Amino acid sequence: MIVTRWVLLGLLLAVWAQPGLAYDVIAVQQGGTIEGTVSLSGPVPDPKGFNLITFPDPAYCGHISNGKGWRLLYDFVVGSDGGLKDTVVLLEGVPAGKPFELSVPLIEARDCTFGPFVTIVRNGHAVEVINMDPVMHDIQGYETSLEAGTRVLFNTPLVMNRQHHRGDLHASHNHMPGKSLVGPIYLNKGRRTFYMQCGFHAFMESWALGVNNPYYAVTDKSGHFKIEHIPPGIYQMGVWHPQLGHGFTKTVTVQPDGTLIEQVVLPAPKGNRTAYKVMDNPRFGPESLGYAIDIVPLVEKQQ
């Protein structure tokens, strides 16, 4: 795999973060645990809808679609009990504790989707982006915050993976990754959130949050999280979701060998949150192209 060094520049530091806070590794004595769930209160927002004929590679990117030519982006994934997936729970103000062993985050373009949707990065360390698709992607990176707005960090092509059998819509990803983009992350003061989108395929999104200690967790499909081996003490527990921002902060006390159970409820957004919606309009159907095209959800038929 050929590696191209690429400086991605920065992420963002949140208001409740403590930028520049040094972290030391120590032997944690009688460490405690915080676990629980993050759930969404209120109606689950509809997914964003993107009509595939308005973007390049509609047949290939239609591997994941609703069978009517639309790609859906589920940026709120909620379980049957209301648990909210892809939410980051983290502790601020931990000066020392267990080893901070965070491997290089890998973001993969596969079937015109960036995965994972949410990841964690560390200041001064690297992130890697690879392409598994036989189509080109255009990587656009932004740093953003509600307080400081959005700033473009980079815009560079991610070349197509020529090991994939281009033209064979039934071909699997049984091949090596394409050329990777690798570069260090430098957190800018006052900002902490990194957002990546494909300039060719707007339905491809990936989010990352910068952390300054290893005491964090990303909720699973049931909204569950668990943070272990925490030095006894008093900390700020923050909760972040890509579409809700830093929606919750609480002071917590970790007791020696204790387990603290936290049930966090975040309100669902109200009103019209996006202009990307599925519309039942023949003008947006494949027939409007003037030539035959089959958009078939071979990988996943979205509901």
How far is 219 from 152, CA to CA, in rounded Å?
Answer: 28
Residue 29 pLDDT more than 50? yes
Structure tokens at 183: 């570069």
Q: Can you name the residues that pair with 267 across neighbouring β-strands?
A: 41
In tens, the pLDDT along 194-225 reads 889 999 999 999 999 989 899 999 999 999 99
Phi and psi dihedrals of 202, rounded to 5? -65, -15
Structure tokens at 295: 């958009």
Residue 17 pLDDT more than 80? no
Helices (H) and strands (E) in the chain, counts: 1, 24
Domains, the chain, ranges and CATH?
Answer: 3-17+25-30+46-82+99-216+270-289 (2.60.40.420)
Task: Determine what percent of the chain is predicted with pLDDT higher than 70.
Answer: 85
- Say which range, 9-23, 136-150, 166-180, has the weakest mean pLDDT: 9-23
How far is 40 from 270, CA to CA, in rounded Å?
Answer: 12
Residue 145 pLDDT more than 60? yes
pLDDT at residue 101, as a whole number:
85
Model confidence at 190, pLDDT cuts 50, 70, 90, reads low
pLDDT at residue 78, as a whole number:
97
Q: What Å distances lie between residue 177 and 1, 77, 95, 137, 154, CA to CA?
A: 7, 28, 38, 14, 22
Burial (Cβ within 10 Å: 0-12, 13-18, ≥19) of residue 18: middle
Question: 237: which residues sit within 8 A by CB, 6+ positions away?
Answer: 34, 89, 90, 91, 92, 249, 250, 251, 252, 262
Residues 227, 217: contact at Cβ < 8 Å? yes
pLDDT at residue 285, as a whole number:
65
How far is 168 from 165, CA to CA, in rounded Å?
Answer: 6
Average pLDDT of the residues in 141-147: 74
Average pLDDT of the residues in 20-36: 90
Model confidence at 103, pLDDT cuts 50, 70, 90, reads confident
- Say which range, 16-25, 52-61, 125-134, has the weakest mean pLDDT: 16-25
Q: DSSP assignment of 99-164, as one string?
A: ----PPPEEEEETTEEE-SEEEEETT-EEEEEE-SSS-EEEEEEEEETTTEEEEEEEEEE---TTS
In tens, the pLDDT along 160-172 reads 999 998 888 889 9
How far is 5 from 18, CA to CA, in rounded Å?
Answer: 29
In tens, the pLDDT along 213-258 reads 999 999 999 999 999 999 999 999 999 999 998 878 999 999 999 9
- Say which range, 129-133, 167-171, 181-185, has the weakest mean pLDDT: 181-185
Average pLDDT of the residues in 79-101: 95
Question: 224: which residues sit within 8 A by CB, 6+ positions away?
Answer: 35, 36, 37, 83
How far is 138 from 157, CA to CA, in rounded Å?
Answer: 4
Task: Determine what percent of the chain is predicted with pLDDT higher than 90.
Answer: 60
Distance linking the first and last C-alpha atoms of the chain: 36
Q: Can you name the residues that pair with 150 across neighbouring β-strands?
A: 144
Instruction: Give Cα 151 to chain centroid, integer Å.
Output: 18
Residue 4 pLDDT more than 50? no
Other Cβ atoms less than 10 A from the Cβ of 198: the count is: 24
pLDDT at residue 5, as a whole number:
31
Average pLDDT of the residues in 184-190: 66
Q: What's the whole-number average pLDDT of the chain?
A: 86
- Say which range, 90-94, 205-209, 268-272, has the weakest mean pLDDT: 268-272
